[in-house]
Amino acid sequence: MIDLHHHLLYGLDDGARTLEDSLNMTRMAIEDGITHIVCTPHANHRYRFDPEINNARLNDIKQELNRTGEGDKITFGLGCDFHMTYDNIEDAKVNPAKYSINGNGYLLVELPDEGIPVGLTETFYQLQLAGLTPILTHPERNATLQRNPDRMKNWIRGGLLVQVTAGSVIGRFGRLAQALASRMLADNWVHVIATDAHNVSGRPPKMRQATDAIEEMYGAETARRLCVENPRRIFYGKALGEQPEPIGIYGDLQPKKSWFDKLLRR
């Protein structure tokens, strides 16, 4: 399994606080069967995002894992949890590699827990023009989308990818998040499962239970696509290739029959 969303780098945001926290999270992920971790600290007004510092923290983690003989058990990447602030958006348009996963153009984009930023569809389009492929993180946890998930249809039609949190699949974020995650999985609206891990307790770096649940409900092929194959392609900057047709995304674009058309069919 490959985890594309993980707050592993210590002392940078609300994830790992110390190097020991980072090491414990890494070991828990390895034990769970995760082979790749993308370290994704927040990039917003609250937390400073600095690629040089991120690299330095990751090197600290790697050095300690190598010292204990664990370095060959996990592969790391770098990215961020991108917040849709004006400064971030403008910077990403001219420095797309700075924020994207391993500099390859795939960008994790986080919404607030409540509400949808004004002009979001246009912002996604502007990011795409800059060469980025936005991946919307945990929309199932957004209260506005829980009430009206159809708002995602235009974004998915426009090429947006969707990441659901592993914990949502198994109910860790409440019934509403779990219900929306289930609907999105059933309708093929999801491209990636990731942990969004912050610690080893309440927000742990575990995917196995969610992967097994998806396999049981939707089949082994779906579980592998969402937890291994698509994440691997994103990690290495490759196109996802053909995906299952999302249900309900394009049907409402069909022109409605007029009363005259219906009359002629009688």
pLDDT 10s digit of each residue in the chain, 266 long? 999 999 999 999 999 999 999 999 999 999 999 999 999 999 998 898 999 999 999 999 999 999 999 999 999 999 999 999 999 999 999 999 999 999 999 999 999 888 899 999 999 999 999 999 999 999 999 999 999 999 999 999 999 999 999 999 999 999 999 999 999 999 999 999 999 999 999 999 999 999 999 999 999 999 999 999 999 999 999 999 999 999 998 765 444 444 334 444 44
Domain extent, residue 192, equals 2-264
Name the amino acid, one letter, at 143.
A
Region class of 18: left (phi > 0), else alpha (psi between -120 and 50), else beta: beta
- As a dihedral over the C-alpha atoms of residue 54, residue 58, residue 59, residue 62, rounded to 10 degrees, the angle is 180
pTM of the model: 0.92
What is the model's pLDDT at position 251?
66
**In this structure, are residues 202 and 146 in contact, taking their beta carbons and an 8 Å threshold?**
no
3-class DSSP state for residue 135? strand
User: How far, rounded to the nearest angstrom, does the alpha carbon of residue 191 sit from its chain's CA centroid?
Assistant: 9
CATH number of residue 80's parent domain: 3.20.20.140
Q: Which of 163, 177, 156, 129 is nearest to 5 (CA)?
A: 163
CA distance 266 to 249: 30
CA torsion sign for 215, 218, 219, 225 is: negative
In this structure, which amino acid lies at residue 75?
A: T
Residue located via tokens 């770098």: 78
Number of domains comprising the chain = 1
pLDDT at 170: 98
What local confidence, expressed as pLDDT, does residue 15 receive? 97
Strand order in the sheet with 2-6: 2-6, 36-39, 75-78
Q: Other CB atoms closer than 10 Å to residue 129's CB: what's the count?
A: 9
Report the distance separating Cα 231 and Cα 240, nearest Å. Answer: 9
Give me the pLDDT at residue 252, please: 58
